Amino acid sequence: MPMSFLTQEWAADVRRSINAGPDAGLRARKADNYWDWVDRVRTRYRWSWALGGQPTAEGPQFYLLLCWSGGSCSSATVVGADEAERADFLLTASHQVWRALFDGLDPGRAVMDRAIRLRRGSVLEFFRGLYLFTETIASICRVPTVFPDVHTPNSTLGAAGSTGSGGFVESGGLR
């Protein structure tokens, strides 16, 4: 059953998805040495990421805070802006970009096109773990998720997928 984006219940599912990683079928789509590199980086990784939307005037800002330790995502919680500022890396994307990621936008492309922006943290350290980051975003996007139906005047996604019920839009998790 889909969980609402940026809720504690959703964050718990996200953590499970990240730690489970891709299944054998998804791993087979990329070279073994790619996964060897991602796994090597993952075992040494010790940073934290706060992932959120771009601030709006519509209310408080929330972030997914992911902490890494011992080769796994040790915690995934939804936090406010003050706690997000204490993360090693603070990254933001618009609501439309988050929806597009869940609908299939390539996470690596989103970073390179600056649709996901590093707002705070060492650029060099971040890019040393870029493939771990993109695979983590892919794991997040495999969690069935429901988004608040946010309408913006310049949306490139429009209201595609809108259910019209309860103000939420379901986005299919990536396979």
User: What integer is the mean pLDDT of 141-157?
Assistant: 65
User: What integer is the mean pLDDT of 146-162?
Assistant: 46
> How far is it, in rounded angstroms, from Cα 14 to Cα 8?
10
Residue 120's contacts (CB-CB under 8 Å, 6 or more residues apart) are: 85, 87, 89, 90
Query: Which neighbouring-strand residues pair with 117?
Result: 92
CA 30 from chain centre, in angstroms, equals: 20
Sign of the alpha-carbon torsion through 114, 143, 4, 82: negative
**Per-residue CA distances from 93 to 20, 38, 96, 160 (Å):** 25, 23, 8, 19
Other beta carbons within 10 Å of 57: 4
Residues 117-148: tens digit of each pLDDT: 999 999 999 999 999 999 999 999 999 999 87
From start to end of the chain, where are the E strands? 3-4, 48-53, 62-69, 72-80, 89-93, 117-120, 145-148, 168-171
Domains recognised in the chain with CATH numbers: 3-171 (3.30.1050.10)
Question: Would the pLDDT of 38 be above 60?
Answer: yes
Q: Please report the pLDDT score of residue 92 as a whole number.
A: 94
Other beta carbons within 10 Å of 166: 9
Q: Please report the pLDDT score of residue 153 as a whole number.
A: 37
pTM of the model: 0.83
